[in-house]
Structure 1
Amino acid sequence: MFSLTALELARIQFGFTITFHIIFPAITIGLASFLAVLEGLWLYKKDNAYLDLYHFWSKIFAVNFAMGVVSGLVMAYQFGTNWSFYSQFAGSITGPLLTYEVLTAFFLEAGFLGVMLFGWNKVGRGLHFFATAMVAVGTMISATWILASNSWMQTPQGHEVINGIVVPVDWLAIIFNPSFPYRLAHMVTAAMLSTALFVGASAAWHMLRGNRSTAVTRMFSMAMWMLLFTAPLQVLIGDLHGLNTLKHQPAKIAAMEGHWSNTPGQGVPLILFGIPDMDAETTRYKVEIPNLASLILTHSWDGHIPALKDFVREDRPNATIVFWSFRVMVGLGLLMVLLGVYGLWLRWRRRLYRSTALARFALWMGPSGLVALLAGWYVTEIGRQPWVVYGLMRTEDAVSNHSAMTLTVGLVVLVVMYLGIFGTGVVYMLRLVGKGPQAHEHEALGAPLTDNQRPARPLSAVDGSLYSSLVNKH
């Protein structure tokens, strides 16, 4: 395909699958916690608007959860099919970590998911709330193990390399590796931000169409509160994460900043915009702010930052992609902070639900959390190159011995299937959002089920008529 090598095709295939997959767990993490909060507020305040919102978002959660599971399985299989030498080299560490995720998180989620979605007439209110909380806890535990595995690949420790194979010697050091706390906090906060923006955009869409019901305005208010607190928190976490990355992965920081050479003792400017040229070893058309990069990354006016020329060519990541992915993430993050502050100002002026400008701003920002999350993952994964395990194993040594034709066929099949299956799923989920929360919806969902109506899968939790209409149109 376009004269690409087997290594390049394997990387594109894995990048494509993880791009699709990571969207669904992010929304799952945020929605699970949101549902737990909604049910807790309903139990505490006895206000059915919270219960209407719970049933509305639980349907969307069910669809999203199902797509996340399916897309995750495909990604996991690629470790054995496309990256077999990596599995042979580091499987003794990543294998157990992923197994722990299944045993402690996925089983917990799956065990309580049925009670959460279908247990309203079969268990008491307290037990049902406990089931919802356990699903939320399960998503957090899942994120913890996945981020522990990925962070070890970024900052490996607690191991020995014996006969070309990684052997674990200290599991606590492996799990709590130097970048793990920052990556976990950054990812979980990104998931909460993405969900808050998704919920806020959904409410804004209904408000712009004239629907200002109690349920709609309440979920808009909750989304704006969440955004107000988590967006600045994410900025702080990102700053701490950047300092950690400067210490352990300086080449990634050099690519993010787009600097090719820096003079010790002189402050490093922040390049706002530019086009890094890997061949010419320069950043063209750059717009700079003097000394700001030193101030941000070293917290001193003239702190030194490594530059790309400090590393040999074969150890440099693709600066063009990393440079712009980082700016997309940061730019959207600043817009999130602005949206949260704007919402607070209008709340203070008692115009939160009457401002068309705020509703449109929130609607347009709806996808921004997921876009920023993907941009951040591109910075993380592409910035690690050319290493699959940083400093231990190069990516070119990890790929399986497949031909370019084999990987081309596999990539084409994946693209077609993903666009068909997950494209349909996303459209279906957006149609559910478009229906909006229904008043007293819990009474209909609480009706007893007959034997032939008992649900057997998460998608049974959503409206069958809507699903049938979508399938018939496709």
Structure 2
Amino acid sequence: MDLFSDTVTLSRMQFALTAIFHMLWPVLSTGLAIYLVIVEGIWLKTRNSDYYYHARFWSKLYILNFGVGVATGIPMEFQFGTNWAPFSEAVGNFFGSIIGFEASWAFMLEAAFLGIMIFGWNRVNPIIHYIATILVALGANLSTFWILTANSWMQTPAGGELVNGIFIVRDYFEAIFNPFMAVSISHMFLATLETSLFVIGGISAWYIFNKRHAAFYAKALKIAIIIAIIVAPLQIYVGHLSGEQVYHQQPTKLAAMEAQWETTPAGQSADWSLLALPNEKAQKNDWEITVPDALGYILELKKELSEPVIGLKDFSPENRPSLIPLIYYSFRVMIAIGFFFGGLMFISVIQWLRGKLKEDNISEQNWLMAGWIFAAPLGYIAVESGWIVRCVGRQPWIVYNQIRTADAASNLPPGDVLASLIGFAGAYILLFFAALYYGSRIIRQGPRFDLPIPGQEKPGVDTSPGQFVPDERPVEAQQ
């Protein structure tokens, strides 16, 4: 089959391109919004101007991500009507309303209060501004809720049935609270927050490494570490729960994630493939490094081995995923990054307890700062890898065991889809480099200590309500 003459394949490639590129932006803005709530809340509580300047600095990166996220998210949703019209017609009774909720509940809430958050610092009462920041964060994270609800339903459809090719909703709440929903939303929420924490920590570490505003950015890094103490291990645990759900709900995906070709019968514990080279044509792994019985322990089947771990050979080729190496290694990349984050967080806490992260010596921790700088982009890679596993591993179904992807694509001329694919690729390349340019310029410029603080005539530290202490920074540090 010629790749460039198959409409379904081209439509899948186009949606993959737009989804992967779009995901780069909300994955930061949703977690960064929570961070803005935290630092602005600390400023209101302590009146320490450092936290006010942190809120102003990080909000610039939030606005950049929000803008690019909107620009790339709208075309992605339009594809449901252009490239996937049969799918939209079949499941619009439920899926369409969920996407509508994301726009009306989440995006509109975020957009409505974003102007106050950006321009309202010296125009509205600080409490009103803080409420606006909270509502922006709520809207950003409501998007995660509704998008993951829709995608989870595609993974484990519930609450109705297909009647003459149309999904009829019998129980709306059962459809929303489908088997994948709770764990999927938790996993993605933690992923966005964890990615944001390590981006914030990585940028802060870059300043500290280069001995620019080290004391100022040490505060941001320490906040990231404190939250990561909870988020990093919790994300590993929730990821484990997600793997267990895949075992019970989508055995073909689990077999692809583990490159498990042969079925391990009940009563035996399956080996875990640490690394392998899957060969789809030969239906085997050309080589592999395995840990005996480990998959049984990971899936907690050792306690009760009443169920087999089904291999790919037990499913007909047309009913199992393709691109096994992509699924297999995407899963391992995601796991490796998750454990790296946990390890970096643990080492950072140890150094903190040893007194190595004080304002007067944190600049000496070059190796630790380098680790945080290295970690900054890894969250993006982990999130994208997870979505590859989630969506490519679901194939050949667009709605698992209900609607095949091949039956869900619009009947369009392949040339038209290829042209739009090339157009999207060109536009996104330009957007990507533009975002990198403006983002790097924000980081190079650094914080502005000359910005007026609400309720004060000039920059300074208000240590308690009604008490003003002038800023003692050198003049060059305030610029």
Deviates more, 1:209-218 or 1:152-161: 209-218
Residue in 1 aligned with 2:287? Answer: 285
Contact (CA 8 Å) 2:201, 2:220: kept in 1 or not? yes
Residue aligned with 1:54, SS: helix
Q: Is the 8 A contact 1:121 1:446 kept in 2?
A: no
Question: Match of 1:209, as an amino acid?
Answer: N
Once the two structures are superposed, what CA deviation does each residue of 1:311-344 show, in whole Å capped at 9, x if it has no partner? 1111111221110100000011111111000101
Shift of 1:67: 0.6
Structure 1 gaps of 5+ residues are: 448-474
- On the 8 A contact 1:268/1:302 being kept in 2, the answer is no
Tell me how far apart the structure 1 counterparts of residues 327 and 106 of structure 2 sit (CA, whole Å). 32
Q: Does 1:400 align with 2:400?
A: no
User: Who is 2:475 aligned against?
Assistant: none
Mark the runs of 5 or more structure 2 residues left unpaired by the alignment: 458-479
Aligned to 2:328: 323
2:455 and 2:207 map into 1 onto residues whose CA distance is 23
Do 2:330 and 2:386's aligned partners in 1 also have CA atoms closer than 8 Å?
Answer: yes
Q: What is the match of residue 467 of structure 1?
A: none
2:343 pairs with one of 338, 341, 352 = 338
The root-mean-square deviation of aligned C-alpha atoms, in Å, is 1.7
Equivalence for 2:251: 250
Residues 1:189 and 1:149: Cα distance change in structure 2 (over 3 Å): same
Report SS of the residue matched to 1:246: helix
Shift in Å, 1:213: 3.5
Q: For 1:146, give the aligned amino acid.
A: I
Contact 2:398/2:408 (8 A) holds in 1: yes
Question: Measured at CA, do residues 443 and 124 of structure 1 come closer, stay the same or move farther in structure 2, by a change above 3 Å?
Answer: closer
2:423 counterpart residue number: 413
Contact kept in structure 1, 2:264 and 2:310, CA below 8 Å: no
Deviations 1:355-413 (A, max 9, x none): 11100011011100110000000000000000000011000000111122111111111
- Please give the residue correspondences for 1:140-179 in structure 2 after superposition, counting only pairs within 5 Å: 140-179=141-180
Deviation readout 1:105-160 (Å, 9 max, x if unpaired)? 11111111111110112210111100000111111211111111111010000012
1:305 and 2:309 are equivalent in the alignment: yes
Letter in 1 for 2:187: H
Q: Which has the higher helix share?
A: 1
2:411 is paired with a residue whose SS is coil
Alignment counterpart, residue 424 of structure 1, candidates 434, 445, 448: 434
What amino acid sits opposite 2:396 in the alignment?
A: P
Deviations 1:34-86 (A, max 9, x none): 00111100000111000000000111111110111111001001111111111
2:203 maps to 1:202 = yes
Q: CA deviation at 1:252?
A: 0.5
Give, as a single letter, the amino acid of the residue that structure 2 aligns with 1:125: P
The alpha carbon displacement at 1:440 in A equals 4.3
Give the 3 Å change call, closer, same or farther, for CA 262–301 of structure 1 in structure 2: farther
**Amino acid corresponding to residue 315 of structure 1 in structure 2:** N
SS at match of 1:305: coil
Aligned-partner residue type, residue 317 of structure 1: P
Pairs aligned (count): 447
Give the secondary-structure state (helix, strand or coil) at the position aligned to 2:410: coil
- Matching residue of 2:138: 137
Deviation at 1:191, TM superposition (A): 0.2
2: CA distance, partners of 1:409 / 1:422: 20
SS in 2 for 1:400: coil
| Change in CA separation of 1:169 and 1:266 when aligned onto 2, cut-off 3 Å | same
Residue pairs, 1:348-427, within 5 angstroms = 348-352=353-357, 353=362, 354-427=364-437
Partner of 2:469: none
**Contact 1:268–1:294 (CA under 8 A) maintained in structure 2:** yes
Question: For structure 1, which segment, 104-113 or 208-217, has the greater mean C-alpha deviation from structure 2 after superposition?
Answer: 208-217
Could you tell me which residue of structure 2 aligns to residue 460 of structure 1? none
Query: Which deviates the most, 240-249 or 262-271?
Result: 262-271
SS of 1:441's partner is: coil
The yes-or-no answer on 1:105 pairing with 2:110 is no
Question: Is the CA contact 2:258–2:273 (under 8 Å) kept in the aligned structure 1?
Answer: yes
Match of 1:183 in 2: 184
TM-superposition CA deviations, 1:157-176 (whole Å, max 9, x none): 00122221111121100111
Question: Mean Cα displacement is larger for which, 438-447 or 306-315?
Answer: 438-447
Alignment-derived partner of residue 28 in structure 1: 29
Contact 2:31 / 2:195 at 8 angstroms: preserved in 1? yes
Q: How far apart, in 2, do the equivalents of 1:331 and 1:446 lie?
A: 48
* Amino-acid identity (%): 34
| Alpha-carbon separation, structure 1, partners of 2:252 and 2:34 | 36
Q: List per-residue Cα deviations over 1:394-447 (Å, max 9, x = no partner).
A: 000001111221111111111001111232123211221232223243449999
